Every structure is written in structure tokens, then in C-alpha cells.
């Protein structure tokens, strides 16, 4: 009787949409998975919608489909519940001398017990301030974009006929069908309607980076919410030994092209397919292929989104005058459209 081969095991640090998507992809590729996440449980409460999948080009009144948000629960609910270690804080990791395994330490935040998890691959899905990435690439720093954003959700479920919401609907007749942007010198506002009669708004303002103590006071205030906008210069590599980076751990991106979630899903899917194709015995070859497929795409998308933000906020650029929405030409606005994003509707070759 042929001996059954052990399934390859991946340890994923981070239980966000990136980590959960990666868990799903790697299970489909035939692997075992453990997800380590510091929050005490999956997101709860009313969903804000399965996604915004219609963007309105108001100049030509053309609707273009695009993927924007996948609900965390949509993927999480298809996973075995025992694979996610909720309430566990990632501490550190080490790679074996022969580089065949990786050992991750995490602390149970409820009991303070330290656990060890051993696997073949460590996936860093721990966000733009990734502790795992910092271990390998200490010189890779977040870059303040010179602007920040106020944001909030306006609940009009009990005031649908109010003067405020009627005024908004008059100004934006197609509000429920897509994303709308108001541009002004040095600032812009994004509006889109959510499910359950709620309106999400984001107000971008060009300003120097605020003092940390002030930013903390504002961010820790329940309402409203302040988001300092950062990205990172594209990495030249997204894996090291038995460790691979995905989503914001690999490519922090500004929000102007609404691409972060899409990039997370694509990272996870491509990584899963590469591992399925080449197998555990060719782990480094699989990671090299993942890098060769995703790095050229994410590099261009990060830099494009950075440029779109700089243009919208009227920040100085060496190759153009500051953007003024009152005087700019329609041709000059082409770069601001979603479809100008590199690889906007491309499907990675590994997924075809």
C-alpha cells in the first residue's frame, strides 16, 4: 500500500480578507492551513454590501463593471472553523537550518499562553505595517502621501426624506449605482451609497503629516474617523526563503483606484495556483513564479494609484502643472478614471 504523503502546511499571519482569501486558495491547492489573527473573532454586524460593482462615468454616462469589495464572511464561511486561531497575537518566527520548515510563535491573548506552530510556508498577510516584512526588509518604509482623509457613514434610514439626503440625490441622480467624486483644488470628496440606506463619504485633504499625538487623539475619537494615507515604494521581491508577502504586506497602495481588495484576492489565487502546479517539493520555484506573475502588476498599480492621488490633490509633479478641476481638459482627466489603471481587467495567466 502506497504511503500517503503529508499535506504541505502554510501558516498565515493575518485574518483579514487577504489572509482568509489565501487560506481558501491554499486549501483548494491541497494544503493544510493555519491562520493566526489577533482579533477575538470574525467581523460581525450588518454587512455594508457584497460590493460596489457599478462605477459611473458621469461625463459619458457609461456604467463600467468592476470588483471593489468582497465580504470577509463570504469566504470565511466556506473554511473549516478550526483553522483560524482567533485572539492570537503573532510574536516571531524562525526558519529551520535546512530551510525546510518555519516555526511561528503566537500568544493567546485570553490566556497568555505561547503556542508554536510549525509549517512549510509562512504567508505574511499582516498589513501595510507588516512585522514579518520588517524582519526581512527593514529599510522598506511607509511613505506619507502628503494628504489624509476624513471619512464617515451617514445613516439616513430614518430620515430618507430629509432636506440633506434629498439635496444629495438631486446633486447625484445616479448615486445608488456607483461611485461619485467631487474635485476641488487641493481636495476631493468621494461618495457612494451602501446597503440599508447608508451613505459612505471620504474627504481627502492635502496637508503635512500631523503630529503623532494629535493624530492619535483624532483617530481614537469614536466619530469621525481620520485616515492618514500611506503607501510604500514597490518592493523588488515578495518572498524570502519560506516566507511570502501578500496584499498590504507586499504592496501598500493608496485608495484612489479601489484596488486593495482586488489585489488581495489576486495574490491569494495566484499563490494557490503556483503551489498547486509545482507542489511542496518545489516550494521556492512556486514562490518565484508567484513573484514573477504578481510583482510587475502590483508595482505598476501602486505607482499609478500614487500618481492619481497626487493629481487629484493638486500636489506638485515634475511633468505637469498642478491639477485644477476648474480649468483642466477632459483629456487631462483620463488618468483619473478607473479603467486607466494598468491591468485593470486583466486575468493573471495562471488563473486562465
First to last CA, the chain: 36
Separation CA 33–CA 235 (nearest Å) = 26
pLDDT for residue 57:
38
Confidence of residue 66 (pLDDT cuts 50, 70, 90): very low
Separation CA 282–CA 274 (nearest Å) = 10
Separation CA 9–CA 120 (nearest Å) = 5
The 10s digit of each residue's pLDDT in 262-273 is: 899 999 999 999
Q: Higher-confidence residue: 31 or 71?
A: 31
pLDDT for residue 60:
32
For residue 134, the cross-strand partners are none
pLDDT for residue 70:
45
Is the pLDDT at 117 greater than 80, yes or no?
yes
Q: Higher-confidence residue: 11 or 176?
A: 11
pLDDT for residue 260:
87
pLDDT for residue 73:
78
Q: Higher-confidence residue: 287 or 198?
A: 287
The 10s digit of each residue's pLDDT in 126-155 is: 999 999 999 999 999 999 999 988 888 888
pLDDT for residue 101:
92
Mean pLDDT on 54-64: 32
Query: What is the overall mean pLDDT for the chain?
Result: 84
Is the pLDDT at 300 greater than 90, yes or no?
yes
Q: Are strands 121-124 and 114-119 parallel, antiparallel or unpaired?
A: unpaired
Separation CA 43–CA 39 (nearest Å) = 9
Confidence of residue 50 (pLDDT cuts 50, 70, 90): very low
**Model confidence, pTM:** 0.80
Is the pLDDT at 21 greater than 80, yes or no?
yes
Confidence of residue 350 (pLDDT cuts 50, 70, 90): confident
Is the pLDDT at 218 greater than 60, yes or no?
no
Mean pLDDT on 303-324: 90
Mean pLDDT on 307-327: 88
Amino acid at each position: 500500500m502506497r504511503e500517503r504523503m503529508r499535506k504541505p502546511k502554510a501558516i498565515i499571519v493575518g485574518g483579514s480578507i487577504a489572509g482568509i482569501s489565501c487560506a481558501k486558495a491554499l486549501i483548494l491547492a491541497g494544503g493544510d492551513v493555519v491562520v493566526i489573527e489577533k482579533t477575538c473573532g470574525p467581523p460581525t454586524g450588518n454587512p455594508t454590501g457584497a460590493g460596489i460593482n457599478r462605477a459611473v462615468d458621469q461625463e459619458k454616462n457609461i456604467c463600467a463593471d468592476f470588483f471593489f469589495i468582497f465580504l470577509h464572511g463570504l469566504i470565511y464561511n466556506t473554511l473549516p472553523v478550526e483553522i483560524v486561531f482567533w485572539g492570537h497575537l503573532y510574536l516571531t518566527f524562525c526558519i529551520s537550518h535546512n530551510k525546510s520548515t518555519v516555526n511561528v510563535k503566537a500568544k493567546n491573548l485570553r490566556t497568555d499562553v505561547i503556542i508554536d506552530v510549525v509549517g512549510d510556508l509562512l504567508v505574511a498577510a499582516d498589513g501595510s505595517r507588516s512585522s514579518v516584512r520588517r524582519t526581512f526588509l527593514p529599510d522598506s518604509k511607509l511613505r506619507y502621501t502628503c494628504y489624509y482623509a476624513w471619512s464617515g457613514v451617514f445613516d439616513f434610514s430614518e430620515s430618507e426624506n430629509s432636506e440633506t439626503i434629498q439635496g444629495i440625490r438631486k446633486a447625484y441622480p445616479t448615486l445608488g449605482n456607483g461611485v461619485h467624486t467631487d474635485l476641488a483644488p487641493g481636495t476631493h470628496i468621494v461618495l457612494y451609497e451602501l446597503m440599508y440606506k447608508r451613505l459612505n463619504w471620504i474627504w481627502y485633504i492635502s496637508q503635512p503629516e500631523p503630529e503623532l499625538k494629535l493624530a492619535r487623539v483624532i483617530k481614537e475619537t469614536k466619530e469621525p474617523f481620520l485616515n492618514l494615507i500611506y503607501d510604500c515604494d514597490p518592493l523588488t521581491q515578495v518572498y524570502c526563503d519560506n516566507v511570502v508577502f501578500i496584499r498590504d504586506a507586499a504592496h501598500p497602495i493608496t485608495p484612489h483606484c479601489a484596488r486593495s481588495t482586488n489585489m488581495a484576492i489576486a495574490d491569494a489565487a495566484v499563490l494557490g495556483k503556483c503551489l498547486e502546479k509545482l507542489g511542496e517539493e518545489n516550494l521556492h520555484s512556486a514562490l518565484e513564479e508567484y513573484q514573477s506573475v504578481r510583482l510587475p502588476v502590483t508595482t505598476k498599480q501602486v505607482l499609478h494609484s500614487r500618481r492619481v492621488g497626487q493629481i487629484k490633490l493638486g500636489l506638485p509633479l515634475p511633468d505637469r502643472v498642478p491639477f485644477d478641476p476648474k480649468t483642466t481638459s477632459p483629456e487631462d482627466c483620463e488618468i483619473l478614471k478607473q479603467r486607466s489603471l494598468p491591468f485593470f481587467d486583466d486575468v493573471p495567466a495562471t488563473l486562465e
